[in-house]
Amino acid sequence: MSKIPGEAELERIAQFRKMATDDPENELAHYRLGDLLLKGGQAAEAVASFRRTLELSPQFSKVHQLLGQALLQAGQRAEAADALRKGFGVADERGDYMPRDEMARLLAEMGEPAPVPKRAPAPSGPLLNLEIGGPAGDGFKCQRPTCMAGARARKMPAAPFGEELGQRIHATVCADCWGDWLKNYSIKVINELRLDLRTEHGEAEYNKYMREFLGIE
């Protein structure tokens, strides 16, 4: 039985639908729109959003998982299995163990053969950078779902600002992802939503989108 979205959920869906329409290259908007649609029981529409997200960011392993779930909810079992198998390979290659293992679990529940991981279980010690010529990271594990730094991730030298939110960002988000927010997406959010950061409403909206971008919602 499909869930009927409430007024607040419908407003959020409309916000991200507008962001995705105004900026078709914004993978964050497509991802969040798909996530909200899936949670609201609109699986068929969520599938389209997740597929567009993967066109823009094919290594976003969490979206492969969500695409598989949306396809299952939409009654497209064969397509769901294909999406989950492909996503398992992407997540395994990247070392994204949580979505990889969740996709393996979903496939097993469907009665599909369990994929065989190529990577060993997640290491407990500092991560090593194995990319030839790539800059070395410092072992920091970024928790942003779309982080592309992987083993190159570096911890920020200090919290970007005071208060609890700044400390959470410092503890969970790498320097590259924070820089991506500041240099690229924060400007899009301010311009597209016409935010006045001098007002409480403008600051609250800015912080809301920042949390979603950084994966600390």
Separation of alpha carbons 4 and 174, rounded Å: 37
What ranges in the chain are assigned the alpha helix state H?
Answer: 7-22, 27-39, 43-56, 61-73, 77-94, 97-109, 163-172, 175-180, 186-193, 200-214
Q: Which of residues 60 and 66 earns the better pLDDT score?
A: 66
Count how many residues are written for the chain. 217
The residues, ordered by sequence, that sit 6+ positions from 141 with a Cβ below 8 Å of its Cβ are: 127, 153
Same domain, 142 and 100: no
* Structural domain that includes position 8: 1-118
Q: Which of residues 130 and 139 earns the better pLDDT score?
A: 139
End residue of a domain, out of 93, 118, 143: 118
Tell me the percentage of the chain whose pLDDT exceeds 90: 35
Please tell me the pTM assigned to this model: 0.64
> Is residue 191 domain-resident?
yes
> Is residue 123 domain-resident?
no
